[in-house]
Amino acid sequence: MSFATDLYALMLGDSSINAFITGAINYENLPDNFDLSKKWIVYHYRKSSQTDCLTIKNAYTTYELTVIPITQNTLDLVTITDDLIDYLNGKEQGSIVDVTFTGDGHSFDQEKNIYMNTLTFDVISE
């Protein structure tokens, strides 16, 4: 399996988060004209480094995962942020051997009246 497939399974793997999200969990982009009254998660990643170990080339790869919950109020934003961090931190899935929370950044879109939190994680994959 590919890293993207393992990450997709990981992102959709928690039933309580899925139940809380009334829109969807999307890779890279939200649908055009997405429903602002629903709760969404959008995520994307980038490869940040490759590590060799002794005679093994590409022993593991580190990715930077960005996960952005989008909600209509700060209480829901805090709830889903805490749930995502608790769920993803230390998680394994397929070739993914570790996920580590590294930071976040809250924002508010006044035009759309939605709150977002940009969460970042380091993900180590074999």
How many other C-beta atoms lie within 10 A of the C-beta of residue 81? 17
More confident site: 56 or 97: 97
Distance, CA of 65 to CA of 18 (rounded, Å): 19
Q: Helical H runs in the chain?
A: 3-11, 15-20, 74-88
Report the DSSP pairing between strands 96-109 and 56-71: unpaired
Going by pLDDT thresholds of 50, 70 and 90, the confidence category of residue 92 is very high
Identify the pLDDT of residue 1: 64
Identify the pLDDT of residue 59: 72
58-78 pLDDT per residue, tens: 778 999 999 999 999 999 999
Identify the pLDDT of residue 82: 97
Positive or negative, the CA dihedral 31, 98, 101, 39 is: positive
Structural domains in the chain plus CATH codes: 3-125 (3.30.2000.10)
